[in-house]
A and B are shown apart, each in its own frame.
Chain A
């Protein structure tokens, strides 16, 4: 070991500046150790990092940033939860679309014609989650992540344009869902591990919860949808505000029941992650309708707040000494 010699203070500062490019978690765990190794390897009299060292450190920083666990949650419990979500969420999204469409169809009275029901094919078609499921089954995880990222961008652009034709909560749910799916696909060990972690009990909770939420959303949407009133038709007797409150209450009950059913830490994390798109539905249904423009974007506040909370929790869990088996 040479220790850097007289130029060591400026050399050490140079190394530390380069190490600032590393993820904070990595700097905390290995920063001092790396400085020691770099100074030990530097020839005597070296005053600043060489071009080769700079390139090597920047390349190493990029590799660690791009490693899946850096992108999402380094703690094992969150990684496992993301793995479960990566396979469960597209299935839930497809089931919700099918169930809500069936519920809406059942709610259509003969004398009423709903308009704009199919104007939003991305958020209301089971084809989009179906494509994601197909890519996941074919083990094309990166392609699936790219597709969900594009779907998120398309839906967000649609929401910003206010082109939701009254289906803002559907668009917000799909956009939040695909955003979470992108993170889950890129930041976990993948759907294969998620499948191994899933149990029949968890699947039953997810299916029951999805069907319950979809049924209430269908009822509320049916009462709030724009209709072409045919001659002789009776006006709707349903009260949107009452149905909205019922939908929100149903959502809370379903989530509380699911949380009680999930006895493991990872199971609870799965529920929190699924709640990111899930909390859009009651929040969206409670916003004034038709909620285009700024009002429609209010639907995105609950999932954004919840996602921010998850990131903070995951980072705390990742701190040295904070790791616990779930």
Chain B
């Protein structure tokens, strides 16, 4: 891009600051997790998310595409390629470098929260298998 001139300046990195700093909702976290292994199409993401969450989270198409829309806007995922299978369009999505960073940050945050919860429960003697 040409050097900024006139009324405005353009900083791509600013555009998605809010998206990257905010905690991810569970569907978004699971979608990013599914894509961390490699590009997948919509139906593949749905079945993978069900597998990752041991069947607890069953994404509907409405939820999946609302989340993909938001993640695409935040540039955390992007289209990888398209295929026509049985006359139907199948679009694959992949994790972007920003998406990988956001997923790693969220995983770290969840890990820290889980560790704090475990520590407190252990101190209170309420953790099954912990010291009485």
Given contacts A1-B43, A30-B65, A60-B63, contact A67 B10 (CB under 8 A): no
- Tell whether B54 is near chain A: CB-to-CB under 8 Å: no
Contact A56 B63 (CB under 8 A): yes
Contact B8 A199 (CB under 8 A): yes
Contact B6 A60 (CB under 8 A): no
- Tell whether A202 is near chain B: CB-to-CB under 8 Å: yes
- Tell whether B89 is near chain A: CB-to-CB under 8 Å: yes
Interface 9-residue window, one of B11-19, B94-102, B108-116, B123-131:
B11-19
- Tell whether A58 is near chain B: CB-to-CB under 8 Å: yes
- In angstroms, Cα B43 to Cα A3, docked, is 11
- In angstroms, Cα B5 to Cα A46, docked, is 58
Contact B6 A67 (CB under 8 A): no
Q: What residues of A have a CB within 8 angstroms of the CB of B10 in the complex?
A: 80, 197, 264, 266, 325-326
Listed residue (B8, B42, B91) with the most chain A CB atoms within 10 angstroms of its CB:
B8
- Tell whether A17 is near chain B: CB-to-CB under 8 Å: no
- Mark contacts of A68-83 with chain B using CB atoms, 8 A cut-off: 1 yes-contact digit, 0 otherwise: 0100000010001000
- In angstroms, Cα B8 to Cα A199, docked, is 6
- Tell whether B1 is near chain A: CB-to-CB under 8 Å: yes
Interface 9-residue window, one of A36-44, A100-108, A148-156, A222-230:
A36-44
Task: Number of B interface residues at 8 Å Cβ cutoff, please give it.
Answer: 33
Rounded to whole Å, the gap between the CB of B71 and the closest CB of chain A is 12
Listed residue (A56, A261, A270) with the most chain B CB atoms within 10 angstroms of its CB:
A56
Contact B8 A270 (CB under 8 A): yes
With beta carbons under 8 angstroms apart, the residue of A33, A266, A325 that contacts B91 is: A33
Contact B11 A34 (CB under 8 A): no
Contact A60 B8 (CB under 8 A): no
Rounded to whole Å, the gap between the CB of B80 and the closest CB of chain A is 13
Rounded to whole Å, the gap between the CB of A48 and the closest CB of chain B is 15
Chain B contacts with A in 30-72, Cβ cutoff 8 A? 41-43, 46, 60-66, 68-70
- In angstroms, Cα B73 to Cα A80, docked, is 14
- In angstroms, Cα B61 to Cα A69, docked, is 21
Q: What residues of A have a CB within 8 angstroms of the CB of B69 in the complex?
A: 26, 30, 63-64, 67
Contact A60 B15 (CB under 8 A): no
- In angstroms, Cα B72 to Cα A64, docked, is 12
Contact B6 A201 (CB under 8 A): yes
- Tell whether A142 is near chain B: CB-to-CB under 8 Å: no
Interface residues of A, Cβ cutoff 8 Å to B: 1, 3, 26, 30, 32-41, 52-53, 56-61, 63-64, 67, 69, 76, 80, 84, 189, 193, 196-199, 201-202, 205, 261-264, 266-267, 270-271, 325-326
Interface residues of B, Cβ cutoff 8 Å to A: 1, 4-11, 14-15, 18, 41-43, 46, 60-66, 68-70, 73, 85-86, 88-91
